[in-house]
Structures are given as C-alpha cells and as structure tokens.
Structure 1
C-alpha cells in the first residue's frame, strides 16, 4: 500500500513549488507600497493583509495539490498532523513583513519542502528586486537560473556580516569584535540567501528563529557550498514538535569555522 505522502517525484514537486512561489510574488507585489491593513500578532509581530493573501494562495497551490504532505506556515494555526508526514511544506508567506509594510525591498517569500527533518526543495523570491533563489538537494543552488556559490573568506575582520548591528556592541562579549561591514535586512531568510550568492560573507543571530524563517534558506546556502547551523555548530532539524531554533550561524566553511571559534562556546539564556 502506498503511503499517503508518497507518489510524487522530486521534479514534479519542484515545478509545483516554483510556479506557486512565483504566483505568490505576483500577489505580494499587488500590495507592496500600498496602504496596507496591518495588525499585531503577539507583542511584537506585525501581520499584513498581504501575508494572509499570499499564505492562502500558497496553501491552495501547494497543500491542496499534495494532500498527503504536511503543512507548517507562520500564518496558519499549527496542525500536529504534520509530525506524522514524511514530507512537509514549510512556509513563510512574507519573511520580512516589517520591511514589506514600510515599502522596503528587504523581504522574501520563503518555501521549502522538508523530508525527514531536512529541506530537499527550496524557493526564495524577492519580487521587489526580482531575485529568485532556488535549490534542490544534490542539485546546487541558483539565483535567477544562474549557479551561485558562497565566498571563500576565512577571516572575520572586514567581513560583510548580515546581522543586527547592536548585537556586536553588547557588553557581554569578552573581547571586541573586529571591524565588519554590517548589512541590515529585516528578513532572516534573505540575509542567508545573500550569503549563498556571495553578496554577504556571513549571517549571525543569537535569538530564536522558526522553521519557516530558515528551512528554505538552509538548503539554498547548503547547495551553494555554505553551512547553516546553530551558533554552537549543530545541524538544524525541521518539522519537530516545537519548530524553533535558538540561534543561527551562516557562512562559507572557512569563515564558519572562524566564527565558531568566537561564538561556539556561548551559553544562551533559555
């Protein structure tokens, strides 16, 4: 008997994913730089009508087309049925909503297909800049159809770091950080994609992120020759009961090792 989440080939799923994410980008642009309806989710998370419209479209195009796959999205109530599924769509309809709401082009639509805890297909699309990142496990990563590769920087000083600048000035650091070029982007997934295409050298965050922030970007970076781990070097596993990660460190292998020497022994508050 065929399992409920089997029966579709990787290429079929890739074509479905790419078409859905491109359509999501088209929908997002109809709201971009317009007067948006917005509200707060929790104490500090903004949601816009565009997030919901894109989420609904992706659900129709992906979840309904693959009823045997699980679904995990920032804008859908979590359904623990996903834990029983081998394959799960992991979705952030708009990663970087604050930037999107302000009319800044620092956001992406982020979708991965996770299989047995790791992403196997990924698409990240910034429709405002027309940047479409795509990756297939074992098949490399591309930006607008062209192969991408991480840089080979090995030293922190002078690195282009995609991160929140005040983090590096915190008094708790035992020694000051060397001078770096800090690249601020509201979208975590976009920061990691910039590392993948060598527009940044590294990304670092020491606060909690969710599966939907990281899964697609993880595969894009990995297939571009980079590493995405927790700050202490652990590989990220997706589609767990609590789909969260305490930190992230993204870089090419040499710089990842140098950054691990500085942050790998940190004990972060629970």
Structure 2
C-alpha cells in the first residue's frame, strides 16, 4: 500500500484500539468512589498513550522498516534530521479528554491522516479536497479548551470592527488540533489560532489535512510552519480559510 493508504489505515485502526480500551475501562470503573475514578482516568490516559504508540511503532516496523518515526511517546534522537523519510505521529492527541470521556481523541499520522473515532471522522490526504464555503454568519474562532490565548479579546474587537456585517464573534473552545481542523472543514468554525506553543507532533498531521483542503496555515506572523527541526517547539499557529 502507498503512504496515504498506510496513514489512513493506521489512523483508523489506532482510533478503534483507543476507543476499545476506553470502553473497557469505563465498564470497570462504574459505581466506584470519586478518588478511584480519578486514579482510573490517570491510568487510562497513560495506558492509552503507551498502547497506541506501541501499536504504531510495531506497524511501522512491518510496513516501513527503514523510515524514521518521530513520536510524542518515543525517542527524540536527532538521526531524523538527516533521514530521507520521517513520519511525525501523535498516537493519542487530547489525552486528558480521552481519559475523562471527552469527544475529541484523534490519532494523528503524517502523510497525513487524522482519526476522530468518537465522532466517526477520518480525514486523509488521499480523499477529495473539501473546499470551505465562506458565508455571512458570525465569525467563529476556535481556541484551546484548556489554554485560550490571552490575545483573544483584542482579536475579537478587531474582527468585529473590520467585519461588522458578520455580527458578534463566536468563540468555541475545543480540544485537539485535529478536531479543530475537522470542525473548520465541516463548516462548524472559521478560524483557529493559538499562541501557547506546541510540539511538532501536535500539528503535523492536522496541518497536512488543512493544507490539502486549501486552508491557510501559518504562524501568527504569517510565516510558514516548518517541521522536523532541531527544536521541536512551534510557538504559535494561525489556521484560517482563504
């Protein structure tokens, strides 16, 4: 199978694996006291990260044994910098939401594919392009659920002054980057920005899906985002419709 087919396959299978693990954990924790439930959530989060990472690494060793894999849960050695082919993966994006039963729990594989099994969504670069259709409804901005940008009040003020015909700006908190990209492509939002910082594995697959579907992807200064760098930190991101 080609890279796109493999990415799609692994994203789907990892998502199914994670949902099965979470459903099994839920069946064991029902009716327990609060302290036990909190501990169970912590264990589920760490176990989900580990199981998904181990499964993906095993699959890459079978299907792409000579490729280098950069994973949030793996070895960050710098051999990847001179490698011809590097996969950037986030086995479980949104660990906190996953462990507490929240909806977005994407598995992100870069060629790119993003699976959101709790929503029955799978985005891949081997699919036809989905062009966003702008309209005159209120501008909807996606922000981090846990770390909304401190600049958001100023951004809202400027947007409402620039586009008065769109009415009051709506702010929508949401979990992972993959879920946010899916929301824009599904016409549930218009813009996503974050100034709180990321690591490359948080962004790689979702940004591939965004670019494939014609969205603008830059940092907050308008510069392109580069991946597989020595410093894996990405300071900020602006993702919007063109």
Shorter-chain TM band: 0.7 to 0.9
SS at match of 2:96: helix
1: CA distance, partners of 2:240 / 2:102: 25
User: Which residue does the alignment assign to 1:235?
Assistant: 224
Pairing 1:217–2:199 present = no
User: Per-residue deviation at 1:47?
Assistant: 4.5
SS at match of 2:149: helix
RMSD of aligned Cα (Å):
2.5
Against the structure 1 CA distance between its residues 160 and 70, is the aligned structure 2 distance closer, same or farther, given a 3 Å change threshold?
same
User: Per-residue deviation at 1:95?
Assistant: 0.8
1:249 to 235, 238, 241: 238
Greater share of strand: 1
Pairing 1:125–2:97 present = no
Pairing 1:98–2:96 present = yes
2:9 to 19, 24, 27: 19
1: CA distance, partners of 2:90 / 2:202: 7
User: Per-residue deviation at 1:64?
Assistant: 4.3
Runs of 4+ deviating beyond 6 Å: none
Against the structure 1 CA distance between its residues 209 and 151, is the aligned structure 2 distance closer, same or farther, given a 3 Å change threshold?
farther
Gaps spanning 5+ residues in structure 1: where?
1-10, 40-45, 113-120, 254-270
2: CA distance, partners of 1:197 / 1:175: 22
Greater share of helix: 2
Q: Is the 8 A contact 1:107 1:187 kept in 2?
A: yes
Matching of residues 132-147 of structure 1 within 5 Å: 132-136=122-126, 141=127, 147=129
User: Per-residue deviation at 1:198?
Assistant: 2.4
User: Which residue does the alignment assign to 1:38?
Assistant: 42
Against the structure 1 CA distance between its residues 60 and 226, is the aligned structure 2 distance closer, same or farther, given a 3 Å change threshold?
same
Pairing 1:160–2:140 present = yes
Matching of residues 14-93 of structure 1 within 5 Å: 14-33=4-23, 34=26, 35=29, 36=40, 38=42, 47-93=45-91
Q: Is the 8 A contact 1:169 1:176 kept in 2?
A: no
Q: Is the 8 A contact 1:149 1:198 kept in 2?
A: no
1: CA distance, partners of 2:221 / 2:133: 21
Deviations 1:83-107 (A, max 9, x none): 1112111111111111111101122
Gaps spanning 5+ residues in structure 2: where?
30-39, 161-167
User: Which residue does the alignment assign to 1:6?
Assistant: none
2: CA distance, partners of 1:245 / 1:18: 25
1: CA distance, partners of 2:133 / 2:54: 37
Higher relative contact order (CA 8 A, sep 6+): 2
- TM-score with structure 1 length normalisation? 0.73
1: CA distance, partners of 2:119 / 2:156: 38
User: Per-residue deviation at 1:32?
Assistant: 2.2
- TM-score with structure 2 length normalisation? 0.81
